[in-house]
Amino acid sequence: MPATLHMHQRSTHHTATTQSSDALKPPRSRPPQFPSLPKLAPLPFKKIQHSSVTAYAHAAGQSASSTVLADTETPPLQAELEAAVAAVERACHLCLNVRASIHDDGELDEGDARLKKQDATPVTVADFGVQALISLELRRLFPDVPLLGEEDATQLRNQLKESSAPGGSLAEAVRAVVALVAPADLGSISVDQVLDAIDDGRAETTSQDRFWILDPIDGTRGFLRGGKSQYVIALALVQNGKVVLGVCGCPNMSGASLECDTCVPDATRGPVEEASTQENPRDQGGECTSSEERGPLDSNVRGLIVYASRGEGTWVRGLEKSDGLTSTSGRESLQSDESERRAALDAGREGAFSHSAWLQPQRVRVDGVKRLWDARICISDHETWGELPLAAALASTPHPEDSDDEGGRLHHAEEWEAKQLPLCCGSICKYVAVALGAASVFVQHPVSKPTLKVWDHAAALICVTEAGGQVTDLEGLPLQLGTGESEFAPGGGGVIVTNGGLHELALEAVRKGQQLLVN
């Protein structure tokens, strides 16, 4: 099979096999190994309790390798999930490398490293590099599974033709950042291979029953802006019309960026099964407050990998430290505001990126808030609470604490403002905030265009639902992301993401608020 296999070629090759149920079964071979990437912590599932055993052994001062696992049965999609997590993690390091080269004015060192797509979204070498890197790796491991991706290489090819300086093209810059983090199994990577890999995901549709969906960077503006702005590498697998796997790489996400220290279980409390049942302040409708014993979303930990697989829950761990993939100077430049952390790294002590307990995956669940008045609402940083449908609905509803007994002052709803989590940029980081319990509700409001892109939702959707949350359109119907089309039309023009328990209340409030704002 040619190395530069495109979508339409894959479809032709796979047509004869899609009618067979065997074609949809995960490969039964051993999960792929990635020798040049730091060893990944085993992915935890109900049937494989590696993480809980390892966390418990770590807490007891024992070696995880000395613990005998009673059940080593490989769960469904294990090979696909391990490959997806490894590919997304490499992509995170690619982004960190490129981000470290951005000057204060937002420009990149690699010459003209930003283009404008037709929709005026800024595109960087990181967008193209991530799609090329993940496409190359997925094609090597799963050659018959097509990819729907956001980018195509048309502009890169045109710029390459016009470039007069050998090696000075944007395409060469993309090749260089891919080669820096690519697994050794891919061998030497050429510009043509990179361009073909990007175009491997350019098709607008696929007729196959099994395919990947990739958003190389959701929130490119956040990537360029830096600071607390967010961006996410999002990869999902669709099988028989359903999203069955999702991985969200969040290189810039931390407890500080989510303004919450206690939204997920603390890795130091023992096995994840026990940690995940610890009382969470948000379960009582309270605010997330700092504590002496801070959880994994401590402000000293930046970089998260959030992933989920059908029926196996949602998990989070810190981004692996990579001595070979990301330079120390680049990492320090990116986080120059964290002087204490940087001093620890300079002194050669173990930092948060390589903290063994934090790198053990932790199962996460949505919060337990049951009243909209107590919910933390995730909004875009450019939105104003008072102008949103939820605000209009709640302002017209009596506050549950309104009382004039004994001459007490009324708690007027119009004077009340919800707890908010403003995040930039993109939709996926807001889904992730709900999955981690940092927010209770996120609403993507209708825009002028009636359709949305599947890659802006697929990977994050399963992370929310496997964490116990719920995602629908504004008519209360499931999102249709597995049709093979790159776009879908949500009912009501928007999407609502909640902790599940608030879903019907939030949906009703949004509808009411929309009517109030129109009238």
- Annotated catalytic residue within 54, 124, 206, 220: 220
Question: In the prediction, which pLDDT does 122 show?
Answer: 55
User: Any idea which of 255-259, 291-295, 356-360 has the lowest mean pLDDT?
Assistant: 291-295
Please give the pLDDT value at position 422.
82
Question: What's the confidence (pLDDT) of residue 79?
Answer: 93
**Helix, strand or coil for residue 468?**
coil
For residue 161, pLDDT beyond 80: yes
Please give the Cα distance from 124 to 114 (Å, whole number): 5
Q: Which two tokens stand for residue 461?
A: 């959707």
What pLDDT does residue 243 have? Answer: 96
Q: What is the predicted pLDDT for the residue at 214?
A: 96
Give strand pairing partners of 218: 232
Close Cβ partners of 345 (under 8 Å, ≥ 6 residues apart): 328, 331, 332, 351
Lowest mean pLDDT among 205-219, 375-389, 460-474: 375-389
Q: Of 89-103, 254-268, 379-393, where does mean pLDDT reach its minimum?
A: 254-268
Selecting among 54, 124, 127, 261, the annotated active-site residue is 127
Binding site listing for Mg(2+): 150, 215, 217-218, 456
Q: Where in the chain is the domain with CATH 3.30.540.10?
A: 36-364
Per-residue pLDDT tens digits for 420-466: 788 888 899 999 999 999 999 999 988 778 899 999 999 999 999 99
Report percent pLDDT > 90 for the chain. 36
Q: Which of the pair, 229 or 11, is modelled with greater confidence?
A: 229
CATH 3.40.190.80 residue spans of the chain: 372-518
**Tally of CA atoms within 13 A in the half-sphere of 86 that contains its CB:** 25
d(CA 205, CA 191): 26
The token pair at 394 is: 């709640």
> What local confidence, expressed as pLDDT, does residue 160 receive?
85
The rounded distance, in Å, linking the Cα atoms of 257 and 281 is 19
Residue 130 · residue 94 · CB < 8 Å: yes
Q: Is the pLDDT of residue 119 over 70?
A: no
Copy the structure tokens of residue 325.
Answer: 């993939």
Q: What average pLDDT does range 121-126 have in this prediction?
A: 71
What confidence tier does 138 reach under pLDDT thresholds 50, 70, 90? very high
Express each pLDDT in 266-276 by its tens digit.
Answer: 332 222 333 33
Identify the weakest region by mean pLDDT among 181-190, 201-210, 291-300, 467-476: 291-300
pLDDT for 415: 55
pLDDT at 58 over 60: no
Residue 461: which of 311, 308, 304, 319 has the closest Cα? Answer: 308
Banded pLDDT at 218 (limits 50, 70, 90) = very high
Q: How confident is the model at residue 366 (pLDDT cuts 50, 70, 90)?
A: very high
What mean pLDDT comes out for the span 483-493? 91
pLDDT top residue among 491 and 283? 491
Rounded to whole angstroms, how far apart are CA atoms 106 and 263? Answer: 32
Of 88 and 57, the structure prediction assigns the larger pLDDT to 88
The Cα 42–Cα 463 span in angstroms is 18
Indicate the pLDDT class of residue 23, thresholds 50, 70 and 90: very low
Instruction: Check whether 20 has a pLDDT greater than 80.
Output: no
Average pLDDT for the chain:
70
Q: How far apart are CA 364 and CA 320, in angstroms?
A: 19
In this prediction, residue 260 carries a pLDDT of: 55
Mean pLDDT within 350-370: 66
pLDDT class of 416 with cuts at 50, 70, 90? low
Check if 17 is active-site.
no
Share of the chain above pLDDT 70, in %: 60
Strands 314-318 and 114-116, how do they pair?
A: unpaired
pLDDT for 477 beyond 60: yes
CATH of 372-518, one of 3.40.50.720, 3.40.50.880, 3.40.190.80, 3.40.50.2300: 3.40.190.80
Distance CA 250, CA 231 (A): 6
Tell me, what's the pLDDT at 300? 56
Q: pTM of this prediction? A: 0.72
What whole-number distance in Å separates Cα of residue 275 and Cα of residue 264? 9
Clarify whether 4 is annotated catalytic.
Answer: no
Assess whether pLDDT exceeds 90 at residue 129: yes
Q: What is the CATH number of domain 36-364?
A: 3.30.540.10
Question: What element of type H or E holds 9?
Answer: helix 7-14
Per-residue pLDDT tens over the stretch 297-344: 555 567 899 999 999 999 998 887 654 443 333 333 333 333 433 343
- CA-to-CA separations, 282 to 373, 481, 507, 519, in angstroms, rounded: 13, 31, 21, 35
Residues at the binding site are: 150, 215, 217-218, 456
Q: Which two tokens stand for residue 439?
A: 């927010």
